[in-house]
Structure 1
Amino acid sequence: MFDVNDAATILLRDLTRETKKRKAAMDACLRVLRGESHPPAARRAFVAAALEAKILRGD
């Protein structure tokens, strides 16, 4: 199972290029971890950053 902690780890470890999408994904993950947001928002931001970094294939 993949969760927000896993997404944050990937963003920190594998997406090293600072982009607006990476920052938005990190911010979204932090908001979920703080209880300020819901996981689907973080998932959408993570997918956008991962696609940009070419570590995730689109459908």
Structure 2
Amino acid sequence: MVVEVNDAAAILLRELPRQTEKRKAAMDACLRVLRGESHPPAARRAFVAAALEAKIPRGD
């Protein structure tokens, strides 16, 4: 379950080993949130896109 940006980043690192543009965008979005440069909804959208691409089920 993804509760916060740290969870999303960990899943991207562990579960999405293949580097794709969507994965890279999601990691960048998570890092921007962690640095205080962006807001969580942007990271969530990027994470969902990468997870869908990797066919990881979404559990809303």
What's the TM-score once normalised by structure 1's chain length?
Answer: 0.93
In structure 1, stretches of 5+ residues that fail to align are none
Q: Distance in 1 between matches of 2:57 and 2:12?
A: 12
Q: How many residues align?
A: 59
How big is the shift at 1:56? 2.4
Aligned to 2:38: 37
Identity %: 84
Q: Distance in 2 between matches of 1:13 and 1:33?
A: 18
Letter in 2 for 1:39: P
Q: Is the aligned partner of 1:22 residue 2:20? A: no
How big is the shift at 1:3? 0.5
Question: Is this contact kept in 2: 1:47–1:56, CA < 8 A?
Answer: no
Letter in 1 for 2:54: A
In structure 2, stretches of 5+ residues that fail to align are none
